[in-house]
Chains A and B, each alone.
Chain A
Amino acid sequence: MSNIPENLRYSKDHEYVNVNGDVATIGITDYAQHSLGDVVYIDMPRVGDKFGTHESFGSVESVKAVSEIFTPVAGEVVEVNEGLNDTPEAVNNDPYNSGWMVKVKMDNPGEADAMLSAAEYEEYLEASN
């Protein structure tokens, strides 16, 4: 079973956001990392890059596949997880903590509230399988 923490918000593209004030920490869900398999490389944006909602901001590459990652919320990148350059496997091992990807200062902090709750995301996963 996928690990779906209660306190996060989720997108249908299998990103999560962890909201702290107007900053959203974004990564991919446990379900997503499991589907991808061993992650070997993450192509990330730079600090200062601005993205609208549902824009591709980078990609996650596993041995077998590449998957684009989308911004679930619009805003400006204020931090990227440089640690993933050396330990991309953190996305597999610990997607919600050390496997986070970017922090975005949200244009509209209300946007995260409109995303799926943990229960809704779980339902969405069950329905799509």
Chain B
Amino acid sequence: MTSGALKKTPLNDAHRALGGRMVDFGGWDMPVQYTAGVIEEHMATRTRSGLFDVSHMGEIWVEGPDAISFVNRLTTNDVLKLVDGQAHYSAMTNDNGGVVDDLLVYRFGQEKLLLVVNAGTTEKDWAWITSHKKDERVELHNASSEYCQIAIQGPDATAIVQNLTETDLAAIKYYHFTTGRVDGVDAIISRTGYTGEDGFEIYAAADTAEQLWNKILETGNYGAKGGILPCGLAARNTLRLEAAMSLYGHELGDDISPLEAGLGWITKFQKGPFTGSEIIARQKEEGLTRKIAGFEMTEPGIARDGCDVYVGGEKTGVVTSGSPAPFLKKNIGLAFLPPQFAIDGQEITIDVRGRQIAAKVVPTPFYKRSK
């Protein structure tokens, strides 16, 4: 491996000090797990709290009088519906109705939006956004390297962060955010996440990352029984999969429409045209040929990404994400299926390395936290 060429987040040394097993993740040197292992990290996040370095994700500022209309033209969700201090999940589409990336759009003001995009697609997104600017009065700024992003997720997350800030966290509703200070550091405190748990994503200057990371571990009693655990990419993936959240490159891609990916709920045709909206609207009218469905294995075996799915002996689809689900203690996954088979209870089989293993379509999310 040519680790010299990999990009590093400001927490790279911290991960190594914690025993993180580092892997090449889309060109980033990231921890896949720490010493506790993926199952314990996953369970800590579901039952207590988990800490994630997501500084590799991209941050792009859009500022100017046409910020909202510009982002509205490039993405599927309706930016006009956002109020200051609110964020939403959205998809940036291409001319064929495929997805350039999925992202969060934060509204700081009428003329100021922040786009948070995936790490592996930041450069592609930046090129896409800058090259699709027409005569809109907006300033674009790729601030990805200026920020760290630390996610703290799980039932104990609010109490831990509240110890470190004077901001009243109870006043921040889900998918809302505020600017404030965490451990004295200027930060964007966002009640969002990618685990299916309550929690926060904290954005701050890159050079404050270690301070924040270590302070949160200390405040969360890392190392003590019942304390917080740092979590690697493996747990981040199993947590998001239990919550049936899409992962770009799996359920989403340049040749997958948001409707096929099950993102109709963030595809707002009534707001007016956006990139690819005609094609996507036609798809909705004419009906989809495939859509994402959740499944669980009913026989021993684990379906992995890329496994073929069969109905009645006929190949009908493909697994996009498959894994053991540590909290649910089942083997689950997401797959593309023709809509007539993407119905709860549908029996399917999955070719797992040459063997047909039984599974059935189940409702998603697989896991939903109790309020």
Q: Which residues of A come within 8 Å of B, CB atoms? A: 37-38, 40-41, 43, 59, 61-64, 66, 92
B300 touches A41 (CB 8 A): yes
A-B pairs, 5 with minimum CB distance? A40-B324, A38-B39, A63-B38, A38-B37, A64-B234
Bound CA span A43–B301, Å: 8
B88 contacts the other chain (CB 8 A): no
Q: Contacts A37-B33, A37-B234, A40-B324 hold; do A61 and B302 have CB atoms under 8 A apart?
A: yes
Nearest to B326 among chain A residues (CB) is: A63
**Nearest chain-B residue to A56 (Cβ)?**
B353
Besides A64-B32, A64-B234, A66-B353, 18 other A-B contacts (C-beta < 8 A) = A37-B32, A37-B38, A38-B37, A40-B39, A40-B302, A40-B324, A41-B300, A59-B353, A61-B302, A62-B38, A63-B38, A63-B238, A63-B323, A63-B324, A63-B326, A64-B323, A66-B302, A66-B304
User: Which residues of A lie under 8 Å from residue B331 when comparing CB positions?
Assistant: 41
Q: How far is the CB of A85 from chain B (nearest CB, A)?
A: 8
Chain A residues with Cβ below 8 Å from B304 are 66
Q: Is B302 within 8 A of A38, CB to CB? A: no
Across the interface, do B324 and A61 meet the contact criterion of CB distance under 8 Å? Answer: yes
By the criterion CB–CB under 8 Å, are B301 and A63 in contact?
A: no
> How many angstroms between the C-alpha atoms of A62 and B235 in the bound complex?
12
B26 to chain A, nearest CB (A): 16
**Chain A residues positioned under 8 Å from B324 (CB to CB):** 40-41, 61, 63
A95: shortest Cβ distance to chain B, in Å? 15
Cα distance, A63 to B333, chains bound together (Å)? 12
Contact A41 B302 (CB under 8 A): yes
Residue contacts A-B, CB under 8 angstroms, 10 given: A37-B38, A38-B37, A38-B38, A40-B39, A41-B331, A43-B300, A63-B234, A63-B326, A64-B38, A66-B353
* Cα separation A64 to B237 with both chains bound (whole Å): 9
CB nearest neighbor in A for B324: A40
Alpha-carbon separation in the docked complex, A37 to B300 (Å): 19
CB contacts (< 8 Å) of B353 on chain A: these are: 59, 66
Binary flags per residue of B166-209, CB closer than 8 Å to A gives 1, else 0: 00000000000000000000000000000000000000000000
Question: Which residues in A have their C-beta under 8 angstroms from that of B302?
Answer: 40-41, 61, 66
Which among B301, B302, B326 has the highest number of chain A CB atoms within 10 Å?
Answer: B302
* A85 nearest CB neighbor, chain B only: B300
Q: How far is the CA of A38 from the CA of B302 in the complex (A)?
A: 14
Which chain B residue lies CB-closest to A88?
Answer: B324
Q: Which residues of B contact A40 (CB under 8 A)?
A: 39, 302, 324
Residues 233-287 of B contacting A (Cβ, < 8 Å): 234, 237-238
Residues from chain A with Cβ under 8 Å of B238 in the complex: 63
Chain B neighbourhood of A37, CB < 8 A: 32-33, 37-38, 234
Residues on A with beta carbons closer than 8 Å to the beta carbon of B39: 38, 40, 63
Q: How far is the CB of B310 from chain A (nearest CB, A)?
A: 19
Q: What is the CA–CA distance of A101 and B133 in the complex, to the nearest angstrom? A: 60
**Whole-angstrom distance between the alpha carbons of A83 and B301 in the complex?**
17
Closest CB in chain B relative to A73 CB, distance in Å: 23
CA gap between A38 and B33 in the complex, in Å: 10
Cβ–Cβ < 8 Å partners of A63 in chain B: 38-39, 234, 238, 323-324, 326
Roughly how many angstroms separate A124 CA and B234 CA in the complex, as a whole number?
28
- Chain B nearest CB: distance from A109 CB in Å? 31
Name the residue of chain B whose CB is nearest to the CB of A34: B21
Give B36-71 as 1s and 0s: 1 = Cβ < 8 Å from A's Cβ atoms.
011100000000000000000000000000000000
A43 contacts across to B, CB distance below 8 A: 300-301
Q: Quick one: closest B residue to A65, CB to CB?
A: B304
- Expressed in whole angstroms, the Cα–Cα distance for A4 and B317 within the complex equals 44
Q: What residues on A are CB-neighbors of B33 within 8 Å? A: 37
Residue of A nearest to B32 (CB): A64
Cα(A38)–Cα(B37), bound, Å: 7
- Whole-angstrom distance between the Cβ of B44 and the nearest chain A Cβ: 13
A62 to B52, CA, bound (A): 21
> Closest approach, in angstroms, between the C-beta of B369 and any C-beta of chain A?
20
